[in-house]
Amino acid sequence: MNEKSYTELMKIGAMKRNRLKENFVQDLYIEMLLSEVQLTVEKEKLLRKIDLALDCQDKNSFLQLTGRLQELNKRFGT
């Protein structure tokens, strides 16, 4: 028979819980990293468009784009 003792079963359960916690934390870090990358890319695109609007002296585009940048900053808490 391959029955495990109560102590062995408790150790196995504790190890599984620790692995689940580690995986959760790792998934959380990955999600945070992806959000940061997304924010950075979106900000860079908007800033390039804002620079172009300034170069072209396009006030309407400038105001629209800076509004979007403010919304983006609020959304990501920056």
1 located within any domain: no
50 located within any domain: yes
Domain count, the chain: 1
24 located within any domain: yes
64 located within any domain: yes
**pTM over 0.75, yes/no:** no
40 located within any domain: yes
The yes-or-no verdict on residue 11 having pLDDT over 90 is no
Q: pLDDT band at residue 2, thresholds of 50, 70 and 90?
A: low
Identify the domain containing residue 15 by its residue range.
Answer: 6-76
Phi, psi (rounded to 5 degrees) for 3: -85, 140
Mean pLDDT of 7-11: 83
31 located within any domain: yes
Closest CA to 64 of 43, 46, 42: 46
